[in-house]
Amino acid sequence: MRKYTTVQGDTWDYIAYKVYGEQSGAELYMHTLLDANPAYLLYVVFPADVVLNIPDIQVELPKTLPPWKRGA
């Protein structure tokens, strides 16, 4: 599990996007972040310097992507 330190104005979905990347449909993992950080459930917009737990996820890329986009 990694850690992420917030910057002023971060939101749950934006943090998910930043840590999991744009290809993964990161907003879908916002709930994973919420589950891993129950002490901060009431935050909508974060202040700076809050340290969050970032769980590892398995991202399955669509088989229809060309090899260079799948990392093959």
Long-range contacts of 21-28 (CB under 8 A, 24+ apart): 21/59, 23/59, 23/61, 23/69, 24/57, 24/59
pLDDT of 27: 74
- What's the structural domain count of the chain? 1
Other beta carbons within 10 angstroms of residue 6's beta carbon come to: 19
CA-CA-CA-CA torsion for 51, 41, 1, 72, nearest 10 degrees? -110
Instruction: Provide the residue range defining the domain that includes 44.
Output: 2-70
- For 11-57, how does the pLDDT look when each residue is reduced to its tens digit (9 = 90+)? 999 999 898 876 656 777 889 999 999 999 999 999 999 999 999 98
- Tokens 């202040």 correspond to what residue? 47
- The verdict on pTM exceeding 0.85 is no
Instruction: Answer for the pair 50, 41: CB distance below 8 angstroms, yes or no.
Output: no
